[in-house]
Chain A
Amino acid sequence: MNANLVKRTLAAVVATGALAFGMGAAQAEDVKAGFVYVGPIGDHGWSYRHDIGRQAIEAALGDKVTTSYVESVPEGADAERVIRQLAQTGHNLIFTTSFGFMNPTLKVAKQFPNVKFEHATGFKRDANVSTYAARFYEGRYVAGVIAGKMTKSNIVGYVGSFPIPEVVRGINSFMLGAWSVNPDVKVKIVWANTWYDPGKEGDAAKALIDQGADIMVQHTDSPAPLQVAENRGIVGFGQASDMIKFAPKAQLTAIVDHWDEYYVSRAKAVLDGTWESTDTWGGIASGMVDLAPYTNMPDDVKALAEETEAKIASGELHPFAGPIYDQAGELRIKEGEDAPDGMLLGMDWYIKGIDAELPK
């Protein structure tokens, strides 16, 4: 846990304490929050970070809240039953933390209008279903800048999960960052077709290194690609959580998910009776996306990374600032404009210069 997180969590605890004190006995119902995870909480990536968020709720709201979770829930017929079981066992706030839980979440939400649902990374909402996601592409832009400076072979290896907009957007943003400091960088992409499978992810990483990559980027959840990078003596970036433990010599930084504050605020909203269906997409500025400490790089690169991060946070720099062309040479974002959120959410095209074909 980094110092930033400790500070934020403490702040949340203090704020909640003050709030609870001020409100006295007026509060309506206690929160019973349930979480549905697509992977094991021990994945050290995506599900692990959501579980840290769950623990933050417990830490922040103390005895006003109880939480429970179900891990490794397949994105198939089982999800609906699990979500329903949570709703039936008195949970009044349910977080479903994978895209594939979207339709089951909405289905169960219709049958339990008094239960609040929070679905991560989806695009369908309802009166009692909110959506939330983080602008990870902002972190990927910073990673791209670092990679552009650090690479010697000018080849970056990228382990992708599925060619969905979230991941395609990340690749584009990463390359825009890299080209902003080094126009010669090339990217090689392998699709692992899984979110979590250390074996497959590691094999993909090995194949990329054999093709000359000296920077490893991943959009899958286990530390395996970074561990391969460590063993083979190259550097790379952690995914979802700070993976420095797994790759003390290889991790440059990691794009860290911070659900803590959002989760605590949503649980508090249920406590206060102020919960509303919303759509949240937070970036570096909101704290939802964080970069792990910059390590294993020279001071000037570190300074540049910090500067880029600060510029994105302040809004001075938008990763998708025009002009941006797609692979066919068509102008997608005009000079002087930033990509609108709608375009980012449905992004299914590579930017010009990426020498790969999107799996269709």
Chain B
Amino acid sequence: MIRLEPRRQHSQAMVYLSPVLAILMTLFVGGIIFSFMGKNPFDALYTFFILPISNSYGISELFVKATPLVIIAVGLSMGFRANVWNIGAEGQLTMGAIFGGGLALYFHDSESMFLLPAMFVFGAIGGAFWGAIPALLRTKFNANEILTSLMLTYVATLFLSYLVHGPWRNPEGFNFPESRPFPDAGLLPIIYDGTRVHLGTAFAVFVVIAGWILLSKSVIGFQLRVVGKAPQAARHVGFRQKRMVWFTLLLGGGLAGLAGLFEVAGPIGQLQSQISPGYGFTAIIVAFLGRLHPLGILFGGLIMALTYLGGELAQITLGLPNAVTGLFQGILLFFLLACDVLTKYRVRFGTPVAKGEAI
């Protein structure tokens, strides 16, 4: 029989090394899969992980793709640390895009420099509002936020679909389900000419730094860590669990809402029925890949973004199917979880030893 036995003391170094190990093993297994598919594994890995960032445009696209992932994941990680499981970032992202984008559509003739800042505020409010519903249900009725936040995602995406099919449809758009293009005053400025790197990317870096400070230097950051690691102790010293639920869901929702607004006011430039290929869900993986630490999340977001870019290039230059992208992400998550388990537990073979015989 094989058992998992908790380690009394697990190596602190391994906690941070395990993502690195997981990535190395993913590369190794990925190489084996490529060679089974009849491709030179080194060529394939090069195409997948190096070629996308071999020129400045590729690097800029990596940042564009990682931007929403990092912003959302930093927000989610705060909740995950306090055992608040917000799975509905995708819906909060959508509501942020609706609130902020709606403002741009309402003022579609505007040239005001205040439009964009107002859109930021509305985007954050939209996301936070969508995060507030699970918070209310959890604190008032003890409803599981995993379920409520997840289900609200579908409400949000259907609401967006309704808007772009109906009231917000572009009157000059031949009845196609998309809004008017946003006015120039409602589009994010490009911060690096010739690329799509926009103000949102700079904001992502800011979020990482602010998240880091919040976590390590502030009282609420300390409370988050304690509530997550030792809920009993937290109650004894008077940290209020409910306040943590509200804080993390509003923060996570607000950041996801901003990320959604950045997508529609940045690379997309209008509202349409599909605005995110599941960033809100992928960000959950990114949060754990980054060990729930803002700096780690920055790297995790970049790596996850790289798998998307690499997957596209693997299709273009090697003729590999799109499923390879999902495969890589799956393998990565698998090894990450496996490494974590083995860091915290040791594998024992044979039947359990009776208590009295323990040394």
Residues on A facing B (Cβ under 8 Å) = 34, 40-41, 68-78, 80-82, 84-86, 88-89, 99-100, 103, 123, 162-165, 168, 193, 345-348, 359-360
Contact B312 A348 (CB under 8 A): no
Chain B nearest CB, measured from A293 CB (Å): 31
Contacts of A345 on B, CB cut-off 8 Å?
174
Contact B316 A77 (CB under 8 A): no
Contact A74 B316 (CB under 8 A): no
Contact B175 A100 (CB under 8 A): no
Q: Which stretch in B108-116, B141-149, B230-238, B264-272 binds the other chain?
A: B264-272
Interface size grouping (class) on chain B: 35 or more
Chain B nearest CB, measured from A270 CB (Å): 18
Contact A85 B272 (CB under 8 A): no
Q: Which residue of A lies closest to B276 (CB)?
A: A76
B205 within 8 A of A: no
Q: Which residue of A lies closest to B162 (CB)?
A: A359
CB pairs A–B below 8 angstroms (11 shown): A41-B321, A70-B322, A71-B322, A73-B312, A77-B266, A78-B308, A86-B316, A89-B316, A165-B174, A168-B175, A360-B166
B 252-275 to A, binary, CB cutoff 8 A, 1 in contact else 0: 000000000001001111001111
Contact B274 A75 (CB under 8 A): yes
- Contacts A82-B312, A86-B316, A99-B176; is A76 near B165 (CB within 8 Å)? no
Chain B nearest CB, measured from A31 CB (Å): 15
Contacts of B273 on A, CB cut-off 8 Å?
162, 193
Contact A348 B175 (CB under 8 A): yes
Contact A70 B315 (CB under 8 A): yes
Chain B nearest CB, measured from A360 CB (Å): 5
Cα(A123)–Cα(B174), bound, Å: 9
Q: For A76, A80, A165, which residue has the most chain B Cβ atoms within 10 angstroms?
A: A76
Q: Which residue of A lies closest to B52 (CB)?
A: A85
Contact B174 A77 (CB under 8 A): no
Contacts of B175 on A, CB cut-off 8 Å?
163-165, 168, 346-348
B 120-154 to A, binary, CB cutoff 8 A, 1 in contact else 0: 00000000000000000000000000000000000
Chain A nearest CB, measured from B29 CB (Å): 23
Q: Which residue of B lies closest to A73 (CB)?
A: B312
Contact A359 B166 (CB under 8 A): yes
Contact B272 A72 (CB under 8 A): no
Contacts of B65 on A, CB cut-off 8 Å?
78, 81
List 13 other contacts, CB 8 Å, given A81-B64, A347-B175. A40-B321, A68-B315, A68-B316, A70-B316, A71-B315, A75-B274, A76-B276, A80-B267, A81-B65, A89-B317, A123-B174, A165-B174, A346-B175
Chain A nearest CB, measured from B101 CB (Å): 13
- Contacts A78-B277, A100-B272; is A68 near B317 (CB within 8 Å)? yes
- Contacts A71-B321, A88-B57, A162-B165; is A77 near B268 (CB within 8 Å)? yes
Chain B nearest CB, measured from A39 CB (Å): 10
Contact A164 B263 (CB under 8 A): no
Residues on B facing A (Cβ under 8 Å) = 57, 61, 64-65, 158, 161, 165-166, 174-178, 196, 263, 266-269, 272-277, 308-309, 312-313, 315-317, 319, 321-322
Cα(A75)–Cα(B178), bound, Å: 11
Contacts of B313 on A, CB cut-off 8 Å?
85
Chain B nearest CB, measured from A354 CB (Å): 16
Q: Which residue of A lies closest to B316 (CB)?
A: A68
Q: Which residue of A lies closest to B157 (CB)?
A: A193
Contacts of B315 on A, CB cut-off 8 Å?
68-71
Contacts of A86 on B, CB cut-off 8 Å?
316
Cα(A99)–Cα(B166), bound, Å: 18
Cα(A143)–Cα(B243), bound, Å: 61
Contact A163 B165 (CB under 8 A): yes
- Contacts A71-B322, A76-B275, A88-B57; is A34 near B174 (CB within 8 Å)? no
Contacts of A85 on B, CB cut-off 8 Å?
312-313, 316
Contacts of B64 on A, CB cut-off 8 Å?
77, 81
Cα(A103)–Cα(B136), bound, Å: 41
Contact B322 A100 (CB under 8 A): no
Q: Which residue of B lies closest to A347 (CB)?
A: B175
- Contacts A70-B315, A359-B166, A360-B166; is A77 near B267 (CB within 8 Å)? yes
Task: Give me the 6 closest cross-chain CB pairs, A-B, nearest first.
Answer: A77-B267, A348-B175, A74-B277, A70-B315, A72-B322, A71-B322
Cα(A65)–Cα(B196), bound, Å: 31
Cα(A17)–Cα(B268), bound, Å: 44
Contacts of A168 on B, CB cut-off 8 Å?
175
Chain A nearest CB, measured from B190 CB (Å): 13
Cα(A60)–Cα(B148), bound, Å: 55
Q: Which residue of B lies closest to A42 (CB)?
A: B321
Q: For A41, A75, A165, which residue has the most chain B Cβ atoms within 10 angstroms?
A: A75
Chain B nearest CB, measured from A202 CB (Å): 18
Q: Which residue of B lies closest to A100 (CB)?
A: B272
Chain B nearest CB, measured from A97 CB (Å): 14
Q: Which residue of A lies closest to B318 (CB)?
A: A68
Q: For B65, B166, B277, which residue has the most chain A Cβ atoms within 10 angstroms?
A: B277
Cα(A162)–Cα(B162), bound, Å: 11
Cα(A336)–Cα(B225), bound, Å: 77
Contact B316 A81 (CB under 8 A): no
Cα(A174)–Cα(B342), bound, Å: 61
Contacts of B272 on A, CB cut-off 8 Å?
75-76, 100
From B165, B166, B196, B316, A80 is in contact (CB under 8 Å) with B196
Chain B nearest CB, measured from A297 CB (Å): 34
